[in-house]
């Protein structure tokens, strides 16, 4: 039986996840709108002695430009699946660090998905706006940074053995065969 305290804690973790996701999404959208308005496609702004360059790059592929225009619909579908998965399981998360990690992944996926859905050349085929360039590194954006940080946090949490779902929720996800074996 779930207690009122457990429900309250679960609700707070969902609020953290949603808060992180919406913050990432807002920062991604605002930064892309600002950079597209401020820079022409061929201009660059070099900062910090050339360590950081701001330049618009329209990415038709996946992370780091992998794939190209022919795979845009596939990557859009993957982003939709990631968003659906995180939203589906958000109420079952057992720790705040997992809520933060999944919030980063959700916000980043939604940021790039927004570009895929609404930017040129068309619906579900839009090219993602990347604009942050570091030496010896592909051009990226705020959403990509959030996805990367979220993925690193997921690896750290998994390595430490921090449970993502409550024990009874993990058992619900197991196959009937495994449940029978565990009962023996």
Q: How far apart are CA 90 and CA 98, in angstroms?
A: 10
User: How far apart are alpha carbons 131 and 104 in whole angstroms?
Assistant: 19
Catalytic-residue membership of 28? no
Residue 52, beta-bridge partner list: 47
Instruction: Fill in the DSSP letter of residue 146.
Output: H
Does residue 172 have an active-site annotation? no
Of 5, 28, 144, 169, catalytic: 144
CA angle 132, 102, 168 (to 5 degrees): 170
φ, ψ at 137 (rounded to 5°): -145, 140
Which of 5, 28, 115, 130 is an active site residue? 130
Task: Enumerate the active-site residues.
Answer: 130, 144
């Amino acid at each position: 039986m779930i207690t009122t305290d457990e429900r309250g804690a679960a609700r707070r973790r969902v609020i953290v996840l949603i808060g992180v996701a919406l913050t990432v999404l807002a920062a991604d959208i605002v930064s892309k709108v600002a950079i597209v308005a401020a820079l022409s496609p061929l201009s660059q702004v070099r900062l910090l002695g050339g360590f950081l360059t701001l330049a618009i790059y329209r990415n038709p592929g996946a992370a780091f430009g992998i794939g190209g225009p022919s795979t845009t619909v596939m990557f859009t579908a993957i982003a939709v699946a990631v968003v659906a998965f995180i939203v589906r399981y958000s109420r079952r998360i057992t720790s705040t660090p997992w809520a933060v990690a999944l919030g980063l992944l959700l916000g980043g996926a939604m940021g790039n998905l927004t570009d895929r859905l609404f930017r040129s050349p068309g619906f579900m085929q839009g090219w993602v706006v990347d604009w942050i360039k570091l030496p010896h590194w592909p051009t990226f954006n705020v959403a990509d940074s959030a996805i990367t940080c979220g993925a690193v946090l997921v690896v750290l949490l998994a390595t430490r053995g921090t449970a993502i779902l409550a024990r009874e929720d993990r058992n619900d996800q197991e196959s009937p065969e495994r449940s029978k074996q565990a009962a023996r």
